Amino acid sequence: MRMQDKVVAITGAGSGLGREGALLFAAEGARVIVSDVVAGRSQKVADEIRSLGGTATAVDADVRSEADMNALVGTAVDAYGRIDVMWANAGIPEPGFGMQPLAESSLDDWNNIFAVNTTGIYLAWRAAARRMIGDKTAGALLATSSAASFTAYPGFPMYTASKAAVNGLVRAAALEFGKFGIRANALCPTHGMSVNFALPPDAEVLGKSYEEMQPWDPDKRAMPLRVDRPPVLRDNAHLALFLVSDESAYMSGQTIQATDGGQFARTSIIFPTDLGEETDITAGSIPDDLRDQIDR
């Protein structure tokens, strides 16, 4: 049990990678505080964890809110006496999911993307670090960054900028908090990410990656690595588990590229080469019924 009795709070855990990580961590013995901005989603995940014999508490919280992030940490401490891990996982894409030119974007969109993707990590980490320092707990801070922080995604300039800022925060936090025994790292996924990320917040939680939503033929993938199954959410969750476990006790300030498949410039998502024409650079596609939800 790699996380036996560790107290772990995860933001954006009602769906996607956060949900998958919550299930994995609980199976490894963690006591998980499941947090999500969509009302009721966190409760469903917590109920699922408990039905499997794990320990979990649900919190509805918005990572843009300082009060909510403080309350999230407070919930962990009230329920389990401390907090050992804060995984700031919540994130949002850009309006239009890659189809809006930067010149036509709005300041409101820019501010909201940064509020969730960057400030949300700062607020969650700060709240957890304050408690860890006060309790003299050698804890771990984890963020979900993105491959976009290294290789810009076409059509995602604001998202790309927000994730690059996260990587800078990782390095600064590791430098700042290291003297307290607190580590700060991030995983930067490429493949195996949640198709729900492309869907409206109220969409059904599918629990699948983009690649799982289409027939899998490894010989038609853009990535050089050939595996007989598609990349899945758990492939990324396993890296998250490693980065907060004692196995990585001497790792801090790292932003690790996950599920790359050996060709980091390519990704699993449909991106336009021309903003007037969609091209799937990985020879796959999101099914039409899901595409209709994206376009709503």
Q: Is 146 a catalytic residue?
A: yes
- The residue written with tokens 């790359």 in the block is 260
The catalytically annotated residue of 163, 209, 252, 268 is 163
Phi, psi of 215, rounded to the nearest 5 degrees? -60, 135
C-alpha distances out from residue 80 to 45, 73, 83, Å: 18, 11, 8
The catalytically annotated residue of 42, 145, 146, 194 is 146
Phi, psi of 142, rounded to the nearest 5 degrees? -130, 140
Which residue stretches of 138-275 are H helix? 157-177, 233-244
Q: Is 34 helix (H, G, I), strand (E, B) or coil?
A: strand
Alpha carbon distance 156, 282 (integer Å): 17
The catalytically annotated residue of 80, 153, 159, 210 is 159
Q: Please check whether residue 3 is in contact with residue 32, taking contact to mean a CB–CB distance below 8 angstroms.
A: no
Q: Is 163 a catalytic residue?
A: yes
Catalytic site positions: 146, 159, 163
